[in-house]
Amino acid sequence: MKILKQIAQCLESGDEAGVPPLVRQALTEGIVPKTILDDGLIAGMNTVGEKFRVHDIFLPDVLLAAKAMYAGMDVLKPLLLSAGVSSRGRVVIGSVQGDLHDIGKNLVAIMLKGAGFEVIDLGNDVSAEKFVTAAKNNDARVIGMSALLTTTMPVMKEVVDLLKKESLSGKIKTIIGGAPVSQNYAGEIGADAYGYDCAQAVAGVKKLAAAVQ
Amino acid sequence: MALRPQLKFLSAELLERIVAEARDILCRLGTKVQNPRVLEMLAEHGAKVDFEKSQVLYTNSLLDRCLKSVPAQFKLFDVLGNETHDFSGNKVHFTPGSAALHVLDYQTQKIRKPDTTDYVRYVQLLSGLSHISSQSTAFISADVDERVSDSYRLFLSLLYGEKPVITGTFTIESFQVMRDMQLAVRGGEKELRAKPLTVFSCCPTSPLKWSEITSQNVIDCAACGIPVEFISMPLSGFMAPVTLVGTLVQHTAETISGIVISQVSSPGAPVLYGGSPAVFDMRYETTPMGAVETQMIDCAYSEIGKYLGLPTQAYISLSDAKLLDAQAGLETAMGATLAALSGINSISGPGMLDFESCQSLEKLVLDNEICGMTLRLVQGIEPREDFPAQPIFEELLREKHLLISPHTRRHLKSEHYFPGPVIDRANLSRWREEGSLTLGQRAHREVEKLTASWLPSRLAAERKKELCSLMEKEARRWGMEKLPSRPLEA
C-alpha cells in the first residue's frame, strides 16, 4: 500500500513531524494499526538498520529515524492497546552496579525504542536484584546489561544466576554489552546474547524477544 | 578561513642562496643538451652554445626572461571537458605513481609483468577512487610491442577512464600519436590548448644533461600547450652531492634549465616544477623513495618552485616495500602528509611499490584513503558555528548528547573524514565477526567491488572510435597487426 511505503520513507528520512500525519492518514484509509506498525514504521526502521550496518547512513540518521518512530508510535499506541495488540516486547536495560557509564546503554535504549520495543531504563549503578525485580514487575522478555569497567562485569553474572535461581531463565533472556565484555564472556556467565555495538544489540534483543514469545 | 597548516624546511636566506648557486652553475658550467634543434633555439635566445660538445651556458638575462614568461598556474580538464585540477597556490591533487614495469598480483602475491587486462582493471578501479583525481599511465602493458607501450597506456586510459592523465613518451616518435589521441578527445588543437587533458613527464638526466628525446618532448608539448612536469632525479651521494642542500642546488639547476627549454620554444607554455630525486642507499645501491631525506628534498624543492612562482609536483607518496605491508603504508602516508603540508600541487605516487617499479591495485585502494585523510588534514581547523560556545554546551547538558543536534548534522561530514572499509575502525568483536580480515583482504574486496561497479566512460562513441583507429594505425606502423583483445569494450 502506498501510504505504508510513504510512512516508511518518511521515517527513514528522520522526519519526526511528518510521520504522525501519515499514520493518521493510514488509519483513515482503514488500515489496521498492527499493519501500520509492522509494514510502515518497523519496515522503515529495518531499512534504516540495514543502511546503518553497511555505513550508508550514520548514527545521527538512525537516532532521528528512531525519534520519528516514537512520534508514529504515540499515535498508534492507544489504538494498539485497545485492540489488544502487544508491542514487540518490553526490555529492561541498565548499566550494572558500580558502573556509572551509560552512554552506550542510552544509545541502545534509544535504538530499541526505535525498533518498537518498550524500554524500561533503570539508569546506571543497577543491582542484580533491581534488574530482576523490574523485569518481573514489567513482564519484560529481555534484560540488557552494560558495563564499561572490568570490575563491574561480575554483576552481569549475578543477574544471570539470580534468574536461574528464580527459574526465570527461559522466560527472561539476558543480553550484555560494553567495552570489556565479549561473546566469550557471555558464554562463560551463561548470558543469552552479546552485542558488540548498538545495532547488534538491537538485532540480539529482537531474536531473544521472538524466542520467548 | 582556516589556517592552512604548512611545512617549511628552508629559511629565506638558504632558499635564495640555493637558487643563486643553481643559476651560477647554469651560467658557469651549463648543461648538456643532446638535441641540435634545441641547441639552436637556445643559441638564438642568447645562450652560449658549443654545438660540437652539445654544451649550453645560460645567461642570467635568459634565465630571468624564461622564469618571467612561465605561467604561475594552470588547470586540467577530464575527457568530458570538466575542470578537475587547479594547479595554483597550495592546492593539492593526487595522481598514481606512473610507468611501473610490474604489478603485484593479489592472488599469487608475486610481482609480475602486467598486461592489457591489468591495465583496464586499473583504469576501472581508479574511476571509483575519489581522492585520486587524475589517472597516470601507471604501468606498462607487456603484451604490446615496446615501441607502442607508451601510447598504448594513454589509449587505454582515454578509452576507459574519464580522469585527466599524467603520462609521457618513451620516444620522440610516439609524441605525435599521443597528441593526436588528445586532439581526438577534445576535437581540435584550439580546444586542447584551452582545456589541457594530460601532463607529460620530461626528465633531465642527472647530472645536468638533457637527452635528445626528453628535450624534444619538452618543446613538442610546449608547442601545442600540453603541460609538462620536469622530473629531475639527482641521487644524493651518487649522481649529486651527498648533502640535501647540494642535491637541491642540482635539482634547481636541472629544473630551471628545463623551464628555459620550454619557454624559449613557446613562451607561456604551462609546466609543473617537479622531480623525483632520492638519496642513494650506499648499502643496497638503491634509490629509496620512502627515505625521509628523499621526502625532505621533495618538500624543499617545492618551496623553491613556489619561490620561483610555479606550481609544483613530486614523486613522494609511495613506498619501496615489495608487498602491501606496514612499510608500504608508513612510507606512503608519511610522504603524502609531508607533501600536502608543503602544498605540492601534484602529488605522484599512490599505488606504487618497489622504487617506482611496481603498481598494486590493493595499495591504490589504501592510498586513496591516505589521500582522503591528507586532503582533510590540509583543510585545517576552522571555526564554524562554534562561537559563542555557550549555546551548544547548554544543549549538550540539556540533551545529554549531541548525536542528533542540528549542529552535529550540519557539520559532521565536513568536519570528520569517513574512510572506506579498508581502514579498520570496527571494534574487536565486529572485526572478528566480519571475518578477521587483514588490510590486504579488505583492500582486495574494494578492488573487486569498485571494478565491478565501473561504468563506461561517457566520451562520445565516435571519439572512442577515433581513438581506436589511431591506436590500431600506430600499432601497424610498428608491425603489430592486431592489438590485444580488451576484456570489456569501453
What region does B270 belong to: left with phi over 0, alpha with psi -120 to 50, or beta?
beta
Q: Are residue A97 and residue A201 in the same domain, yes or no?
A: yes
End residue of a domain, out of A82, A98, A124 = A82
Q: Are residue A121 and residue A146 in the same domain, yes or no?
A: yes
* Nearest chain A CA: its distance from B171 CA (Å): 48
Q: Are residue A106 and residue A41 in the same domain, yes or no?
A: no
Residue whose C-alpha is closest to residue B66's, from B245, B292, B248, B230: B230
Give the separation between CA A161 and CA B265, rounded to whole angstroms: 88
For the segment B64-87, what is each residue's pLDDT rounded down to a tens digit?
999 999 999 999 999 999 999 999
Q: Are residue A51 and residue A116 in the same domain, yes or no?
A: no
Q: Which superfamily, per CATH, for B1-381+393-490?
A: Trimethylamine methyltransferase-like (3.20.20.480)
Kindly tell me the burial class for residue B247, based on how many C-beta atoms sit within 10 Å of its own C-beta (0-12, 13-18, 19 or more): buried
User: How many other CB atoms sit within 10 Å of the CB of residue B388?
Assistant: 8
C-alpha pair distances (Å), B145 with each of A185, B141, B150, B176, B178: 62, 9, 10, 17, 16
End residue of a domain, out of A82, A112, A134 = A82
DSSP letter (8 states) at residue A196: S
Q: Are residue A77 and residue A115 in the same domain, yes or no?
A: no
To test the contact with chain A by mutation, choose from B395, B404, B436 the residue with the greatest count of A C-beta atoms within 10 A, namely B404
ipTM metric: 0.81
Give the separation between CA A205 and CA A212, rounded to whole angstroms: 11
Beta strands in B169-310 (DSSP E): 198-202, 209-210, 228-230, 235-236, 271-272, 278-279
pLDDT in tens, chain B (490 residues): 678 999 999 999 999 999 999 999 999 999 999 999 999 999 999 999 999 999 999 999 999 999 999 999 999 999 999 999 999 999 999 999 999 999 999 999 999 999 999 999 999 999 999 999 999 999 999 999 999 999 999 999 999 999 999 999 999 999 999 999 999 999 999 999 999 999 999 999 999 999 999 999 999 999 999 999 999 999 999 999 999 999 999 999 999 999 999 999 999 999 999 999 999 999 999 999 999 999 999 999 999 999 999 999 999 999 999 999 999 999 999 999 999 999 999 999 999 999 999 999 999 999 999 999 999 999 999 999 999 999 999 999 998 889 999 999 999 999 999 999 999 999 888 899 899 999 999 999 999 999 999 999 999 999 999 999 999 999 999 999 999 999 876 5
Domain of A43, CATH number, reads 1.10.1240.10
Q: Find the helix or strand (DSSP H, E) in which A151 lies.
A: none
Q: B186 is written with which cell numbers? A: 577534445
Residue A55 lies in domain: 2-82
Q: Are residue A157 and residue A173 in the same domain, yes or no?
A: yes
Contact A197 B430 (CB under 8 A): yes
Q: Are residue A98 and residue A177 in the same domain, yes or no?
A: yes
| Nearest chain A residue to B425, by CA | A55
Does A63 lie at the interface with B, CB-CB under 8 angstroms?
A: yes
Among partner residues B404, B421, B433, which is closest to A64 by beta-carbon distance? B404
Q: B145 is written with which cell numbers? A: 610491442
Q: Are residue A120 and residue A196 in the same domain, yes or no?
A: yes
Among partner residues A58, A103, A182, which is closest to B429 by beta-carbon distance? A182
Domain ranges of chain B: 1-381+393-490
Residues forming beta bridges with residue B165, ordered by sequence position: B135, B198
Q: Are residue A94 and residue A194 in the same domain, yes or no?
A: yes
Residue B152 amino acid letter: Y
| Interface list for A 99-158 with B (CB within 8 A) | 103, 106-107
Q: Are residue A52 and residue A101 in the same domain, yes or no?
A: no
Does A169 lie at the interface with B, CB-CB under 8 angstroms?
A: no
* Nearest chain A CA: its distance from B204 CA (Å): 48
Give the separation between CA B412 and CA B255, rounded to whole angstroms: 43
Q: Are residue A101 and residue A175 in the same domain, yes or no?
A: yes
Q: CB–CB of B191/B109 below 8 Å?
A: no
* Nearest chain B CA: its distance from A174 CA (Å): 18
Residue whose C-alpha is closest to residue B474's, from B180, B141, B187: B180
Please state the pTM of the whole predicted model.
0.92
Residue B286 dihedral angles phi and psi, to the nearest 5° = -125, 170
List CB contacts (< 8 A) between A55 and chain B.
418, 421
Contact A60 B430 (CB under 8 A): no
Q: B156 is written with which cell numbers? A: 587505454
* Nearest chain B CA: its distance from A178 CA (Å): 11
Residue whose C-alpha is closest to residue A74's, from A12, A25, A21: A21
Residue B430 dihedral angles phi and psi, to the nearest 5° = -65, -40
Does B404 lie at the interface with A, CB-CB under 8 angstroms?
A: yes
* Nearest chain B CA: its distance from A177 CA (Å): 11
Contact B400 A106 (CB under 8 A): yes
Quote the number of domains for chain A. 2
Among partner residues A60, A63, A183, which is closest to B429 by beta-carbon distance? A183
Residue whose C-alpha is closest to residue B344's, from B384, B390, B297: B297
End residue of a domain, out of A34, A60, A82 = A82
Domain of A180, CATH number, reads 3.40.50.280
Residue whose C-alpha is closest to residue B262's, from B177, B200, B345: B200
| Nearest chain B residue to A14, by CA | B404
Among partner residues B404, B412, B421, which is closest to A63 by beta-carbon distance? B404
- Greatest Cα pair distance in chain B: 84
Q: B24 is written with which cell numbers? A: 651560477
Q: Are residue A130 and residue A27 in the same domain, yes or no?
A: no
Question: What 3-state DSSP class applies to B273?
Answer: strand
Residue A190 amino acid letter: G
Q: CB–CB of A7/A41 below 8 Å?
A: yes
Tally the residues of chain A: 213
